[in-house]
Protein backbone atom coordinates (compact mmCIF):
# COMPACT_ATOMS: atom_id res chain seq x y z
CA UNK A 1 0.00 0.00 0.00
CA UNK A 2 1.26 3.43 -0.83
CA UNK A 3 -0.61 6.25 0.79
CA UNK A 4 -0.50 9.94 0.20
CA UNK A 5 -2.25 12.22 2.58
CA UNK A 6 -3.40 15.22 0.62
CA UNK A 7 -2.52 18.55 2.12
CA UNK A 8 -5.26 19.61 4.48
CA UNK A 9 -8.62 20.27 2.93
CA UNK A 10 -11.37 22.48 4.32
CA UNK A 11 -13.58 20.69 6.80
CA UNK A 12 -17.33 20.48 6.61
CA UNK A 13 -17.43 20.38 10.39
CA UNK A 14 -19.18 23.17 12.25
CA UNK A 15 -15.93 24.54 13.69
CA UNK A 16 -14.25 24.84 10.30
CA UNK A 17 -10.61 23.86 10.35
CA UNK A 18 -9.02 21.32 8.06
CA UNK A 19 -8.94 17.53 7.82
CA UNK A 20 -6.73 15.00 6.08
CA UNK A 21 -7.77 13.29 2.84
CA UNK A 22 -5.81 10.14 1.97
CA UNK A 23 -5.14 8.95 -1.58
CA UNK A 24 -4.05 5.32 -1.51
CA UNK A 25 -2.44 3.22 -4.25
CA UNK A 26 -2.67 -0.47 -3.47
CA UNK A 27 -0.05 -2.97 -4.52
CA UNK A 28 -1.19 -5.39 -7.23
CA UNK A 29 -3.42 -8.12 -5.81
CA UNK A 30 -4.05 -6.31 -2.53
CA UNK A 31 -7.43 -5.15 -1.25
CA UNK A 32 -8.39 -2.59 1.34
CA UNK A 33 -11.58 -0.97 2.48
CA UNK A 34 -11.30 2.73 3.34
CA UNK A 35 -12.83 2.06 6.78
CA UNK A 36 -10.05 -0.47 7.51
CA UNK A 37 -7.38 2.15 6.83
CA UNK A 38 -9.14 4.72 9.00
CA UNK A 39 -9.43 2.18 11.84
CA UNK A 40 -5.73 1.31 11.48
CA UNK A 41 -4.80 5.00 11.62
CA UNK A 42 -7.02 5.63 14.66
CA UNK A 43 -5.25 2.85 16.56
CA UNK A 44 -1.77 4.21 15.77
CA UNK A 45 -2.03 7.97 15.22
CA UNK A 46 -3.14 11.06 17.07
CA UNK A 47 -6.77 11.88 16.26
CA UNK A 48 -5.95 15.10 14.42
CA UNK A 49 -3.66 13.17 12.04
CA UNK A 50 -6.23 10.50 11.09
CA UNK A 51 -7.62 11.06 7.58
CA UNK A 52 -11.37 11.58 7.56
CA UNK A 53 -11.66 10.61 3.89
CA UNK A 54 -9.87 7.89 1.91
CA UNK A 55 -9.84 7.44 -1.84
CA UNK A 56 -8.33 4.37 -3.50
CA UNK A 57 -6.62 5.34 -6.77
CA UNK A 58 -4.84 3.49 -9.58
CA UNK A 59 -2.13 6.15 -9.84
CA UNK A 60 -1.12 9.51 -8.43
CA UNK A 61 -0.57 12.60 -10.59
CA UNK A 62 3.17 13.05 -11.12
CA UNK A 63 5.32 15.73 -12.71
CA UNK A 64 8.20 15.02 -15.12
CA UNK A 65 10.58 14.47 -12.19
CA UNK A 66 8.26 11.85 -10.66
CA UNK A 67 7.07 14.00 -7.77
CA UNK A 68 3.44 13.92 -6.66
CA UNK A 69 1.46 16.95 -7.80
CA UNK A 70 -0.04 17.88 -4.45
CA UNK A 71 -2.04 20.80 -5.81
CA UNK A 72 -3.99 18.41 -8.06
CA UNK A 73 -4.75 16.13 -5.12
CA UNK A 74 -5.86 19.14 -3.10
CA UNK A 75 -8.17 20.30 -5.91
CA UNK A 76 -9.65 16.79 -6.29
CA UNK A 77 -10.26 16.57 -2.54
CA UNK A 78 -11.95 19.97 -2.40
CA UNK A 79 -14.12 19.06 -5.38
CA UNK A 80 -15.14 15.73 -3.80
CA UNK A 81 -15.94 17.39 -0.48
CA UNK A 82 -17.98 20.15 -2.08
CA UNK A 83 -20.07 17.57 -4.00
CA UNK A 84 -20.71 15.30 -1.02
CA UNK A 85 -23.90 15.91 0.99
CA UNK A 86 -23.33 17.89 4.17
CA UNK A 87 -24.47 16.35 7.42
- Number of structural domains, the chain? 1
- Please give the pLDDT value at position 81: 87
* Tens-digit pLDDT profile for residues 14-73: 556 777 899 999 999 999 999 999 999 999 999 989 999 999 999 999 999 999 999 999
Q: The domain containing residue 29 runs over which residues?
A: 2-82
Whether residue 87 is contained in a domain is answered as no
Please report the sign of the dihedral spanned by the C-alpha atoms of residue 84, residue 80, residue 46, residue 43. positive
CATH of the domain at 48: 3.30.300.30
- Please determine, for residue 11, whether its predicted confidence score (pLDDT) is greater than 60: no
DSSP letter for 65, please.
T
Amino acid sequence: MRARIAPDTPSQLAGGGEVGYAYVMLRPGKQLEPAELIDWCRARMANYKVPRHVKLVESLPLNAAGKVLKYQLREQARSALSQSPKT
